[in-house]
Chain A
Amino acid sequence: MWTSIGVSSVEVLRRVGCEVEFDKRQTCCAQPAFNTGYLDEARLVARRFISIFEESKADAIVSPSGSCTAMVKHYSQLFAGDPKWLPRAQAIAAKTHELSSFLVRVLKKEDVGASWNGRLTWHDACHGLRDLNIKSEPRALIRNVRGAEFVELEHADSCCGFGGTFSVKYPEISVAILDQKIDAIERAGVQAVVSGDASCLMQIGGRLSRKGSKVRVMHLAELLNESSQQ
C-alpha cells in the first residue's frame, strides 16, 4: 500500500551491491489472519508465501517490515506438528530478514551513503524489537546519514498502540496509548519520526496529521534512500 517503501528498499539494496528480484505473485505473509485468530485462513495464505519463495534462487528474502519478518519466523508455530510444511516453513524463515538487520548483520554495512538534513528520532516497532532483537542496527544506519541530527526518543521502545485489529477493535485504548508516543515525539522537537514498520508509521502519522503537526513520518528505507541531490 505504501509504494515508496518498496521502491526505496529496492534502491538501497541495489546501491549496496545486491541483485534484487521481486516476485509479483506474492500477496501477504498472513499476519492479519494469524493475529486475529483465524489460523486456517492464515495457513492457506502462508502456504502460498512459502511455495512462491521456495522457487526463488535468491540468497535472502528481505522485508522492509519487522512485523512481516516476525510473522514468517512464526510460521513454525503455525505449522507445528505438520511434518510436510514445518521443514519448508523453517527453511524459508531462516532465509528471511528485516531490512536493517540484513544490511548491518548480514552485509555488514552501516553506511549506505544517504544524506538528509534535519533533526529526527527513531521509534522501535514492537515486533522488530522484541521478536527479532532489532535495536542497534537502525540506530547505526541512521547515525551514518550525513546531515541528520539523531535524538533518542523518550520510551522509544513503547508500543505505538497499533497492534493490527486492536487499533479498530479498541480504538480508544489504541489512541490513548498512541498519545503517549505523540507527547514524547513533540517533546523531542524533531522534524521527522523514523520507524521500520509501515503500520506504526500509519498509526503515528495519522495522529500527527490529525493534530496538525508538522512532524513527518518516514520509513527507514525512505530515509536511507535520501541523498543530497533531492
Chain B
Amino acid sequence: MNHLSSETFKENARAALADVQLRGALKNATSLFGERRKEAAAGLPNWEDLRTQARAIKDDVLLHLDRYLEEFVRNAESRGATVHWARDAAEANQIICGLATERNARIVVKSKSMTTEETHLNDALEAAGMQVVETDLGEYIIQLAGEPPSHIIAPAIHKTRQQIGELFTAELGMPPTDNVDQMTSTARAKLRDRFAAADVGISGVNFAIAETGTIVIVENEGNIRLTTSLPRIHIAVMGIEKVIPRFADLDVFLKLLPRSGTGQRLTTYQSFITGTKRAPADEGPEEVHIVLLDNGRSRMLAHPVTRQSLACIRCGACLNACPVYQQVGGHAYGSVYPGPIGAVITPQLMGIQKAAQLPYASSLCGACREVCPVKIDIPQLLLHLRGEISPRKGSRAERLAFKMWAKVMVSPALYKMSGVAGRILQRVIPISRAWTNGRDLRPIESKSFHDLWSNE
C-alpha cells in the first residue's frame, strides 16, 4: 500500500491542495457532515449537558483505567470470552495471526476497525497466508484501490462517485455507471459469499462495558452483524481506552456518537455482545476473543492534558469542522487518525519524531473543540505538544529568534528600537515569501502608537 508519511505533511498538503477533484469531494463531504451534525445536535435540548456528562464519565474511567479494565475482563471472561492483552501493534498482530493460523483459517472478513488499521493487521494476516476481505463499503473501496482510509468514519470520502464507479468497473467487472445504488448492490453481491465462506470475523469495538463484560459495536450496513455472527471465530480488537463503567452509560454515548458522526439519531444496528453463546446449537460464533491494545495509550495517562486524548469516541466530527482538514483531507496527515484528533494522538502513539509537523498544522481556531461530543480541548493539546516539540526540535534559527524576541519584549529600550529596526528592515529586506506569495503586506507605520501617546 502506498502510504504517505506524517513526516512529509507539508509536501503532502501541497499536493492535496493541487488536487481539484479531492478538494471538491472534501468540500461537499465536510459541509454535509457538518450540517447534519448541527441539525442532529439541535434536536436534543440537553445536548450540552450530555457532552459534560460524557466527559465526566470518561474522566472517571481514565483516572481508574486499571480497575475498570480488570472489571471488564473479569465479566467478559466469566461469560465465555477469551481476553488477550497486547502491549503494542506487533503483539496484537501476532496474537490475531496466531489465533487464525491455529484454527486453520483461510478467509478473514473484517468490519471497519481503526485500531486494526493502526496496527496494520491486514498486512500481517496476508503475510501469514490469509485472504482478508474488508466488508464495510468504504473500507472495501479503499482496499480495492490500495489506499489507506482518509476519514475516521467514512474511509472513501476523498473519492467521487465517478472514481468509485471506474474502480468497480476495473476491479469487479461492473458495467460502467456512476449510480450509487448500483455500486452498492455490486458490492453487496460480491461480499455476500465471502461472509458465508469466512472462518474468522474481525471487528472493532465502540464501547466495552465494565459492569457486564459487553462489547458494543455500531453500524449502518449490517456487515458488523454478519462478521460477528457467521464465522465460527469472532475476534474483537479494542484500544484499552474504549471501556465505560456501566451499561446505563450507553444512554449518553449512544445519543452523542451517531449524531456527532453522521447526524443520525441512531445508526441502523447496535450489537451488544456478551461472551459466547450459551449452547452449542445456538446461533453465533463458537469462540469470542477480545484483544486489548495499549500501543502507547497508557503513556498518555501521565498528564491531564494528554489524558483527555483517550476520551475520544472516534466520531469524526472534528475532522469535518477543521479548516485545515477541509482543505487537505486525511491522506496528507500520513496517519490512520487524521484531522484535529489525529494531529494530537499520532505524535503520542507513533512518537514525536515521526509526526513532529502535525501539531503545528493548525490555526488554533477551536472549531474542533466546539463540536467534540466529549469536550476534548484539542487546541490546548496542540499547544501542549508544541511546548514539548519546539524547544527541542524547533529549527536553530527559530529558537534563537524567540530568545531574542523575549529579550526585546522585556526591555523598553530594545522594544523601542525594534520598531524602528522593523520599519527599516521591511523596506530593505523582502519579507518572507511565505506571506507575500498570496498576500500583500501592510507596511509598518512610521509613528507607533507609543510615539503618538507621548505626544498627548
A and B touch in the complex (CB under 8 A): yes
B360 touches A165 (CB 8 A): yes
Given the complex of chains A and B, what is the CA–CA distance between A184 and B439 in angstroms? 17
Provide the A46-60 mask, 1 if CB < 8 A to any CB of B, else 0.
001000000000000
Provide the A14-52 mask, 1 if CB < 8 A to any CB of B, else 0.
000000001011011010111111111110110010000
Asked if B327 is at the interface (CB within 8 A of a chain A CB), the reply is: yes
Q: Which residues of B contact A159 (CB under 8 A)?
A: 323, 363, 365, 367
Given the complex of chains A and B, what is the CA–CA distance between A51 and B162 in angstroms? 62
Given the complex of chains A and B, what is the CA–CA distance between A202 and B437 in angstroms? 14
Rounded to whole Å, the gap between the CB of B335 and the closest CB of chain A is: 17
A41 touches B412 (CB 8 A): no
Q: Of A24, A38, A162, which is within 8 A of B363 by CB?
A: A162
Given the complex of chains A and B, what is the CA–CA distance between A178 and B17 in angstroms? 13
Given A35-B364, A36-B390, A37-B389, A22 contacting B439 (CB threshold 8 A): no
> Across the two chains, which residue of chain B brings its CB closest to A131?
B366
Asked if A147 is at the interface (CB within 8 A of a chain B CB), the reply is: no
Q: Of B17, B408, B409, B441, which is within 8 A of A173 by CB?
A: B17
Name B's interface SS.
helix
Rounded to whole Å, the gap between the CB of B434 and the closest CB of chain A is: 4
A48 touches B327 (CB 8 A): no
Q: Which of B399, B449, B452 has the most CB of A within 10 A?
A: B449
Q: Of A1, A22, A25, A131, which is within 8 A of B412 by CB?
A: A25
> Across the two chains, which residue of chain A brings its CB closest to B456?
A22
Q: Which residues of B contact A41 (CB under 8 A)?
A: 402-403, 405-406
Given the complex of chains A and B, what is the CA–CA distance between A39 and B403 in angstroms? 11
Given the complex of chains A and B, what is the CA–CA distance between A77 and B13 in angstroms? 31
Interface residues of B in 7-61 (CB under 8 A from A): 10, 13-14, 17
A170 touches B10 (CB 8 A): yes
Q: Which residues of A contact B440 (CB under 8 A)?
A: 205-207, 209-210
B402 touches A2 (CB 8 A): no
Rounded to whole Å, the gap between the CB of B426 and the closest CB of chain A is: 10
A24 touches B450 (CB 8 A): yes
> Across the two chains, which residue of chain A brings its CB closest to B386?
A37
Q: Of A1, A158, A169, A175, which is within 8 A of B444 by CB?
A: A1
Asked if A152 is at the interface (CB within 8 A of a chain B CB), the reply is: no
Q: Which residues of A contact B410 (CB under 8 A)?
A: 27, 44-45, 48
A44 touches B363 (CB 8 A): no
A163 touches B363 (CB 8 A): yes
Asked if B370 is at the interface (CB within 8 A of a chain A CB), the reply is: yes
A168 touches B434 (CB 8 A): yes
Given A24-B453, A166-B363, A33 contacting B405 (CB threshold 8 A): yes
Q: Size class of A's contact patch?
A: 35 or more
Interface size on B, residues (CB 8 A): 58
Given A38-B391, A205-B442, A163 contacting B402 (CB threshold 8 A): no
A178 touches B13 (CB 8 A): no
Given the complex of chains A and B, what is the CA–CA distance between A27 and B386 in angstroms? 24
Given the complex of chains A and B, what is the CA–CA distance between A130 and B379 in angstroms? 11
Q: Which of B361, B432, B442 has the most CB of A within 10 A?
A: B442
Given the complex of chains A and B, what is the CA–CA distance between A77 and B14 in angstroms? 34
Given A2-B445, A159-B323, A166-B360, A36 contacting B386 (CB threshold 8 A): yes
Given the complex of chains A and B, what is the CA–CA distance between A153 and B371 in angstroms? 21
Q: Which of A7, A28, A30, A38 has the most CB of B within 10 A?
A: A38
Would you list 25 pairs from A and B whose C-beta atoms are within 8 A, ordered by A residue?
Answer: A1-B444, A2-B445, A7-B449, A22-B453, A24-B454, A30-B409, A32-B402, A33-B405, A35-B364, A36-B394, A41-B402, A44-B410, A126-B364, A130-B366, A130-B367, A162-B363, A166-B363, A167-B363, A168-B434, A169-B360, A171-B434, A173-B328, A177-B324, A178-B438, A207-B438
Taking Cβ atoms with an 8 Å cutoff, the residues of B that contact A are: 10, 13-14, 17, 323-324, 326-328, 360-367, 369-370, 380, 383, 385-391, 394, 398-399, 402-403, 405-406, 408-410, 412, 415, 432, 434-435, 437-442, 444-445, 447-450, 452-454
**A-B residue pairs, 8 tightest by C-beta:** A163-B363, A37-B386, A206-B439, A37-B390, A159-B365, A130-B366, A6-B449, A41-B406
Taking Cβ atoms with an 8 Å cutoff, the residues of A that contact B are: 1-3, 6-7, 22, 24-25, 27-28, 30, 32-42, 44-45, 48, 77, 126-127, 129-131, 158-159, 161-178, 180, 202-203, 205-207, 209-210
